[in-house]
Structure 1
Amino acid sequence: MSIGNSPEDDRPPFEDDRPSIGRSLQQARIDAGLTVDEVSASTRVRVPIVHAIEQDDFSRCGGDVYARGHIRTLARAVALDPAPLIEQYDEEHGGRPAPTPAAPLFEAERIRPEPRRPNWTAAMVAAIVAVIGFAGFTLFGDGDEGSGKKHVAEGPTPEKTTPKPTPTKTVPKPDPSESAIAAVPQDKVTVKLSAIDDKSWISAKSANGKLLFDGLLEEGDSKTFQDDERLDLILGNAGAIELFVNGKKLEDEFEDGQVERLSYSKGDPEAG
């Protein structure tokens, strides 16, 4: 009988014939026809970390939690089941950390709100304010009643009279041409265009060639132009336009669809 180690201790240690985690990932990547750059691009795991994991160097992962996450991500990228690799990692690195126990729950009966004490100061202030308000209301109410009695003693209340409406004076309408001529300034040339029957395209320029308007005048719309010397007009549909020059309506009969080029200066309207 020998004293020392038992026969079981003399047996050779168990050797794991499984390939390493890095070797498994590398071989699966090669079998899938992927490069390290392609795996890095699809998983967003940096190229140096992929190389290190394939060499079974997990120091660049930043901890066991990140190492497990990288192994799981890389395994899925190369169509490999991550569960056996995670289990192998736990066996080789001391297993998963023990979960942190949850904090004990507080018992509801231990958390009791303190009873609120009556706020006697606020109650007293409210009572004082109420008394002052009542006294003031009574005082002013009595004063109003006394003044009312004196007013009745002086005599009857005068009857209310409804003011009679002021008759509206009818002002005769002046002659349109004379009022229009008086309204426009005499030292300028003024032209008013109104589209009465249809729309019309018009263009208006001042004496110095400045474009005052160039566009469509819709039916019912009006435009008024002024210049110190002269106004040059182009009417695209002259028959639809009612024309006032220096406050005077022109009686020229233009035809529908007719294009007219007109020029007007100060004084009596004169077509150019």
Structure 2
Amino acid sequence: MTEHEAEAVEELPLEGAGAQLRRAREDRGLDLDQVAAETRIPTRHLEVIERGAFNELPARTYAIGFSRTYAKMLGLDEKAIADQVRSELSEHDDTRAERGMSFEPGDPAKVPSSGLAWAGGFAAIILLVGSAVFYSTYYGIGEGPGPIEPDPEPALATNEQPSADREAPVAAGSDDTVVFTALEEGVWVKFYDANGVELLQKQMASGERFEIPSDAEGPQIWTGRPDAFAITIDGKSVPKLAEDDFVMRDVAISAEALLARADQTGDDTAVQNN
């Protein structure tokens, strides 16, 4: 950081990280679209950062990583900006905790009467029992509303034979090698197994590859750019996880799961063509 930039930061000790970044951008005569093109950070995320609303970003990692990249692009002290973002996120968490503890037991006006407390408890019990009866009657035993977006499960083998005009899909084996290759620069991603054990977390460079360990149990992915990764299984390409950028989390990426997604994509395409 230059001497002029250091003085600018010192003159504004109460200014948040987002405001510092916005001021530095405006001093350089840049607009958000130019910054987005340079940093590969979506414009909507840059707007959130400059407002200081870091808690609105998909994850804490995004808030700190994007702010660090933004600061580096502007020539600011990226470590100082990242530390300030962490501090602002912690302050936001503390504020939420304080709001949850705003009840004052010592104030008689705020303490509910014993009669009201008993009535409320009795009503809650009736509501719970009624809900349980309705749920079991309406949905049936062992059933319930399904997940909003279930992870694809490995296809189960059946005795059904493939038709003559449709080639049977290649079954995935236990030794299949799954490789993810970043197609753009600075794509953040986290790979982990079914137990939450981290396999890799970083901003991958364009062309950088990561091979899913063969002994990883139920490998999954978390990224905001599922469209920025090419995927191969034993050297053969399979469809991307998505064609657009959005936050994708807890999505299975074993060979079986990826082949199941590919089969589903093929079925959807066939239906559209018909």
Give the TM-score normalised by the residue count of structure 1: 0.28
- Greater share of helix: 2
Considering Cα pairs closer than 8 Å and 6+ residues apart, tell me whether 1 or 2 has the greater RCO: 2
- When Rg is computed on C-alpha atoms for both structures, the one with the higher figure is 1
